[in-house]
Structure 1
């Protein structure tokens, strides 16, 4: 996959970019509804010989203007920009969103960042899109500004199959709701791919290794929305290796049984316990992933988190979990072949 440039400021935009077609959004999750907009953008840009560019923001505007951390985001900044890069764009302008930035009037926002910085000749936007201070800018305002500054406005709906049915609206909030209940399969249908979570592998309590199921443990705040507690079938990919592991072929989409929860079997009191994300990789048991950055993909939820009365019962359940993961991933692979 060719990586496209991500510009963090207008100063980084190359002088030879040329005239552009632009779409604007937060693109949290880069779900199939977003992809419909991005596909429309690239088609419109090709018809008009323009460079297709997405303009987005970080942090999420609501985290700055309303409440930090609300809503929980489906994807982190790096993952979001990487997914945008898979949509056939010429580049992504990812601007830092601050309170001062939010004070730009609709006209100033369009003039400074779209017309002057990106040399925009066409904008692709949803009919309910808003922009500028207090979200005062709407479709009618954009059309008026297009007449004033010489750009075209093309509207598109954020629709796509896979939510509640053919043609149902897909939204970041719907994806978020599915993940928060553990329905990662439904989330995947809306995303068009399995949901992903990434982090550096941390040292854990090493209980899994002692039980014969060594796990890769993520930190307390991985990138991406962590689904509801439970056991999942999925995959693990090493996306960046620790310096001491360079030269060793990295794991790529290795089958994994993923556990999320507070390890209730090992609880000795009712006080707060850390929430853990652990992945048992099927295959070699002597893997050293400490310090590597890994990506977990969630295919399906197998069961809720349970407390067992003995270690033997836990080990027996872990063996069953592994078997279920194998069957689930075999079915997922057959389904992917059928779709191809």
Structure 2
């Protein structure tokens, strides 16, 4: 009775231990899967944002590039004036190509001209631009005509009277700003990237306050959409990256933690546990049989009775003979 109770308690204890181990294993596995899942989600989101930012940086060109144009000339020593045409040389950045291949650009020069009698007498004049590569080879050239706008004497006097406070305070000047578009749709040649721009004013007497060069990118298609609607394009780009990344993540997750993999693991674990239980039961049965055989002690009275009956039978057989 005592041995049966002990074995029963041992079996219950073993079952409780197995249930506790299974619950702990399930909790550990769930925590591991949850941590892997959320870490993967955060990694995928940041990777999608980084990919869109990298694509935006590589795909979008520089929208504007402005440089001052410093005109140079050789003065005449015989008489007052300029002996050659005013010209300027601009060196573009050489670390990376200023212009992107396949992108169209506008090249503009801004001239600030004083409203002087000399410029009125000059009338029309030509401004030329020459584009060269790093070897000095001429790639393209363009010329535009220009002239200050005509203003009658009456209108000039009225304007001078109205704007006299601004002229006296230095907030305004008697000048005209002129915008010359040297190139409208310029595309850089892959074999001859532009590194130098030369400007020249084909007139000796023209007077110039200041000059500026501006290179503007003419955006179209996807670049136009990405620049003018940045939030919408960012949402679409990041969403597309997330779609493909989560598709790959879902396939990888199913391959690692899918239902088929879990079923196979459970089957292998159940078969191993079932085999261990069978071994445990057989060992318990063998121990029970050995304990029973060890506990069995023959009764002396029974042995004595058997001996007496055997001797009586032998005496009877002798008497009959």
Give the TM-score, by structure 2 length: 0.20
Which has the greater radius of gyration?
A: 2
Give the TM-score normalised by structure 1: 0.20
Q: Which has the higher contact order (CA 8 A, sep 6+)?
A: 2
Counting helix residues as a fraction of each chain, which structure ranks higher?
2
